[in-house]
């Protein structure tokens, strides 16, 4: 399954400012792992010790939240993932 | 009833289809609570004052610092050391002397929030931290008044409108998640964009025009110069609004 991942600009510091990726995977977790192979620092930032997405980050699949079981959420060919963080400034 | 001066001042918006003198009178009768007089609070309050909101109550316990001036356009060099709420009232009062502006130089806490919001018709979120945002979201739900969320970080910002009992609230979206309350990077144009979106939502809500930004989380990324819209739903188990 070919899936597009779009990252918020804030993650650019971990990905040499590249923000869109085409990856293969059947679940959100598999897609993110493909991304983490290239950018291991991103994995440390996003996942907790149990391998779950940290609470301060959200994944949207085709514009809809993948919460609460983000990592096991199934994806299909052509889906788009958005990875965002909780913005708190004002 | 609008005065001759008000008819003249607001002529260009009274001209808007569906707005008219009736819309202007609704704005004049409105009481708006703005939580924060900083990066977001500046454009929100300026554009709501410009639109002729009758009563603006603006709360901020901070004092103006030099490092605020890249984004907090309500405050100037001469205000460094002044209370932000007072500085805001001074500028907004000069900008539009025909509206009522109330300064609250207090910290918004669990104990004080209901009293501070008082009989305001709605709450606009211009805070700089997540815990107070949850508090304001819950207060809006308890009072059954709308909550206009906005937040910024760097070149990115986000906005959403909450109508209690009808649309997803902030807690439905974030599920009580915490974010680090630390000094955050920001460029002034980001709160300018998000604050104007919030002000537009307030004006639309009061006048009954258009479609509100409900059940949609709007994400603005200035580096990509792109808006993304994420669909969000009410959480029936939400600790804030689940029982409504």
Domain count, chain A: 1
Question: What was the pLDDT predicted at A8?
Answer: 96
Contacts of A15 in chain B (CB under 8 A): none
Domain that residue A19 falls in:
2-85
Q: Which long-range contacts (CB under 8 A, 24 or more apart) does B209-215 make?
A: B209/B16, B209/B18, B209/B19, B209/B23, B212/B161, B212/B163, B212/B167, B213/B159, B213/B160, B213/B161, B214/B160, B214/B161, B214/B162, B214/B163, B214/B166, B214/B167, B214/B168, B215/B167, B215/B168
The CATH number of residue A54's host domain is 3.10.20.30
pTM of the model: 0.97
**CA-based nearest residue in chain A for residue B68:** A90
pLDDT averaged per 10 residues, chain B (length 244): 97 98 98 98 98 98 98 98 98 98 98 98 97 97 98 97 98 90 93 98 98 98 97 96 96
Question: What was the pLDDT predicted at B182?
Answer: 84
In a domain, A6, yes or no: yes
Domain map (residue ranges) of chain B: 4-231
Fold for B4-231, please state it.
Answer: Rossmann fold (3.40.50)
Question: What's the complex ipTM?
Answer: 0.94
Contacts of A89 in chain B (CB under 8 A): 39, 128, 151-153, 184, 186
In a domain, A90, yes or no: no
**CA-based nearest residue in chain A for residue B186:** A89
Contacts of B38 in chain A (CB under 8 A): 90
Contacts of B154 in chain A (CB under 8 A): 9-10
Interface test with A, best of B58, B74, B154 (most A CBs within 10 A): B154
In a domain, A67, yes or no: yes
Q: Looking at the partner chain, which of B41, B179, B233 has a beta carbon nearest the beta carbon of A88?
A: B179
In this structure, are strands B216-221 and B226-231 parallel, antiparallel, or unpaired?
Answer: antiparallel
């Amino acid at each position: 399954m070919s899936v597009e991942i779009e990252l918020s600009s804030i993650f650019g510091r971990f990905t040499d400012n590249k923000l869109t990726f085409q990856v293969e995977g059947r679940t959100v977790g598999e897609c993110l792992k493909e991304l983490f192979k290239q950018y291991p620092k991103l994995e440390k930032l996003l996942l907790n010790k149990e391998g779950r997405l940290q609470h301060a980050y959200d994944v949207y699949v085709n514009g809809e939240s993948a919460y609460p079981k983000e990592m096991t959420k199934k994806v299909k060919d052509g889906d788009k993932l958005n990875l965002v963080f909780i913005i708190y400034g004002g | 009833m609008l005065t001759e001066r008000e008819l003249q001042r607001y002529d260009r918006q009274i001209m808007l289809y569906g707005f008219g003198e009736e819309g202007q009178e609704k704005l004049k009768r409105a009481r708006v609570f703005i939580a924060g007089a900083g990066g977001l609070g500046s454009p929100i309050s300026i554009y709501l004052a410009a639109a002729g909101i009758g009563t603006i109550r603006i709360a901020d316990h901070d004092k103006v610092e030099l490092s605020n001036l890249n984004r907090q356009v309500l405050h100037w060099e001469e205000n460094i050391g002044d209370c932000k709420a007072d500085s805001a009232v001074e500028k907004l009062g000069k900008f539009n002397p025909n509206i009522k502006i109330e300064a609250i130089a207090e910290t918004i806490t669990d104990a004080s929030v209901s009293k501070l919001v008082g009989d305001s018709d709605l709450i606009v979120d211009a805070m700089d931290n997540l815990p107070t945002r949850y508090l304001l979201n819950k207060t809006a739900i308890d009072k059954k008044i709308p909550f206009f969320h906005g937040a910024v970080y760097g070149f990115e910002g986000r906005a959403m409108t909450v109508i209690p009992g009808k649309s997803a609230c902030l807690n439905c979206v974030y599920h009580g998640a915490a974010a680090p309350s630390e000094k955050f990077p920001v460029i002034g144009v980001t709160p300018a964009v998000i604050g104007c979106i919030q002000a537009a939502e307030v004006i639309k809500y009061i006048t009954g025009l258009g479609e509100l930004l409900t059940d949609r989380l709007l994400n603005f990324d200035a580096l990509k110069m792109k808006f993304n819209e994420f669909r969000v739903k009410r959480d029936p188990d939400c600790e804030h609004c689940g029982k409504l």
